[in-house]
Amino acid sequence: MSDFLEIKQISKKFQPDKEVEVVALRDITLEIEQGEFVVLSGPSGSGKTTLLNIIGGLDDASSGEVKLSGQMLTGLSENSLSSIRREHIGFIFQAYNLIPVLTARENIEYVMKLQGRSQQECNDRSLEVAKKLGIETLINKLPNQLSGGQQQRVAVARAVAPTPKLILADEPTANLDSKTAASLMDMMQKLNEDEGVTIIFSSHDPMVIGKARHSIILKDGEVIANERHS
């Protein structure tokens, strides 16, 4: 195990108007080991989504730095960040963000196609991941033909299929009922173990939080707890 994600003194400030400055994150320093299953929790407005977006290169920090596998992400051009996201980082959003005109299979294959993989490899990998998530019978359906839980499984499959080093999931169970949420988290936990991919997710849900082996709690943009569980 090695620290493959290093977050050093990350701060983020917003200035919605000239009078008021909002501090979303204050000097966040964290180390995440390869293969960890990590939860960010804390009340609304604590900075969870902002931190995930900075880790994933979707937002810039006001100060501090982020390294992934020893590579500095802070300060890279948008083209360089896009390449790193495409090759090494998977995203799961609470709104699913599936492409409505593509089938489940085509959504799962989307990032792999951008990576330049062959059609055969895309077909084989999308089916392999769909089977692990129990959606292999749904892969020819469009998103609007799927339930919320099924759409989120497709979103998880799309994130996992390109074999990223890191998956970032922002409130992945927020729009799901408790039974579906528990099932999805069990599947994500199994993918974490089987594929060795590091997963960092944010959540308010005590059931979801209890699944993590590394728990980080934020409040008012600061880390107030950082614990690993066996």
Cβ-based neighbour number of residue 126 at 10 Å: 23
- Give per-residue pLDDT as tens, 104-162: 999 999 999 999 999 999 999 999 999 988 899 999 999 999 999 999 999 999 999 99
CATH code of 204's domain: 3.40.50.300
Domain that holds residue 193: 3-228
Question: Tens of pLDDT along 3-14?
Answer: 699 999 999 998
**What mean pLDDT comes out for the span 37-42?**
96
Beta bridge partners of 7: 30, 66
Domain count, the chain: 1
What strands, in cross-sheet order, belong to the sheet with 222-228?
89-93, 166-170, 198-202, 37-41, 214-219, 222-228
pLDDT at 1: 46
Confidence of residue 18 (pLDDT cuts 50, 70, 90): confident
Judged by average pLDDT, the poorest of 78-82, 171-175, 219-223 is: 171-175
pLDDT recorded at residue 191: 86
End-to-end alpha carbon distance in the chain: 14
pTM for this predicted structure: 0.92
Per-residue pLDDT tens for 54-86?
Answer: 999 999 999 999 999 999 999 999 999 999 999
